[in-house]
Structure 1
Amino acid sequence: MQDDPIETDELYEQLDYFLQNYGGERSIMSVSELDGYLTAIGCGKDLLHPNEWLRAIWGGDDDQPMWPSIEREEEFHSLVMLLHLEAVNGLINGDLAPVYLEHKDKDGKVTLIVEDWCVGFMRGAKLLGLAQSPDREFMDDVMASVRLFGTPAGWEKIDAMSDAEVRFWKENLEPSIMRLAQFHHPEIQILGNDGPKIIH
């Protein structure tokens, strides 16, 4: 890999390339989904060793990529660690900036797509066992938004909601995730931020 700092857009493009070319049916398939997954890892009470969550990006043991070289595998791991650091720093600094997708329709109307990120977050939450937390009431509260946008059962509920209700839950997403992170890491001070990072 190059010694110069990698630009954010280039980081996202390279990660998307790896995910789409080396992944399978059970793999994380986009940078937005990967960012949600890594954010969930950062929200956990106990820090997982990278070996515990890197392999889960691809699914199970049978889903691991056939890397053409050790250098290629190390390049991917380096890129993932950069995104992981970005996500964790956002949590620590109380300045969460999720990597969302956006869609522009034929009339030029732009819609923020949070579903991929939430699917990734739910994947990380499952790996961490967040659903088994003894603080069930609190966990249900802070996970409500991400479950809506990140699970098939949630998507059915969204289909029956008004635009105003969907907007409410979208706006509630990031504050809820920060509450979860702060619950496990009370030293976090929640600040205002510049909003999500958008990729097309």
Structure 2
Amino acid sequence: MQDQPLNAADFDFLEGALLQYGDDNCVLNCSELDGYFTALVSGPAQVDINDWFPAIWGGQTPNWSSPDEAKQFIQLCVRHMNTLASQLIANPEAFSPRFEQTEHQGQPLTLAEEWCFGYLRGVSLGNWPDLPAPLTAKFQVISLCAEQDNFELPADLDTALHQQNVAAIEPAALAIHNYWVAQR
């Protein structure tokens, strides 16, 4: 089925391919890929696979080890995009961005920077026009998070504020999606 959610093994395959064939110009992990696809299925117009697939790889197509590997990667991407599109339209409460998890000072911490960076990649590829003022603030929640460089979290990180900012991303993405769907 083309919108059956991916399982852990599917995400492991995607992650492995991104690591094997990617570089600094590519989508680097499944969190970034999830944000990228969320923007693509949320935008004002459909983006063709001939545009979104090479953009994952910084404009270049990988030298796959086999045609089956390339086919599996593309099929999993399409399935994940279809799942996201279905969730966002028919079951938005099931939508959950694929944020990364880490530990900070012995406590679990959700990181959304990679997801947000992927989302901005999708927005750029989709060549979105400006959003109306009420949604611009919601978009800024995502774009500001993408600009953060949290490869090493500061010792004095305000974790409560950080988690509050991360919690605002999902509703922002849903509101933006709903706006563009109504405009299509």
Q: TM-score, normalised by structure 1?
A: 0.78
Matched, 1:49 2:67: no
Matches within 5 A, 1:1-200: 8-60=7-59, 63-93=60-90, 94-95=92-93, 96-105=95-104, 107=106, 109-130=107-128, 132-133=129-130, 135-152=131-148, 162-186=158-182
The CA deviation string for residues 107-126 of structure 1, in whole angstroms up to 9 with x for no partner, is 3x100111111111111111
User: How big is the shift at 1:167?
Assistant: 2.9
Seen in structure 2, the aligned counterparts of structure 1 residues 117 and 58 have a Cα distance that, compared at 3 Å, is same
User: How big is the shift at 1:24?
Assistant: 1.8
Amino acid at match of 1:149: C
Seen in structure 2, the aligned counterparts of structure 1 residues 6 and 38 have a Cα distance that, compared at 3 Å, is closer
Equivalents in 1 of 2:24, 2:161: separation in Å? 32
User: How big is the shift at 1:85?
Assistant: 1.6
Is the CA contact 2:6–2:80 (under 8 Å) kept in the aligned structure 1? no
Equivalents in 2 of 1:71, 1:31: separation in Å? 20
Is the CA contact 2:97–2:115 (under 8 Å) kept in the aligned structure 1? yes
The CA deviation string for residues 131-172 of structure 1, in whole angstroms up to 9 with x for no partner, is x32x352442121111121125x87xx989844433332221
The CA deviation string for residues 70-117 of structure 1, in whole angstroms up to 9 with x for no partner, is 22211110111122122212211223211111113463x100111111
Equivalents in 1 of 2:145, 2:5: separation in Å? 31
- 3-state secondary structure, aligned to 1:120: helix
Structure 2: runs of 5 or more not aligned: none
- 3-state secondary structure, aligned to 1:104: strand
Is the CA contact 1:32–1:101 (under 8 Å) kept in the aligned structure 2? yes
Is the CA contact 1:102–1:111 (under 8 Å) kept in the aligned structure 2? yes
User: How big is the shift at 1:69?
Assistant: 2.6
User: How big is the shift at 1:33?
Assistant: 0.6
- 3-state secondary structure, aligned to 2:65: coil
Equivalents in 2 of 1:7, 1:25: separation in Å? 25
Equivalents in 1 of 2:33, 2:41: separation in Å? 12
User: How big is the shift at 1:52?
Assistant: 1.6
Equivalents in 2 of 1:42, 1:6: separation in Å? 15
Percent identity over paired residues: 22
Equivalents in 2 of 1:122, 1:151: separation in Å? 10
Structure 1: runs of 5 or more not aligned: 188-200
Seen in structure 2, the aligned counterparts of structure 1 residues 106 and 169 have a Cα distance that, compared at 3 Å, is closer
User: How big is the shift at 1:183?
Assistant: 0.3
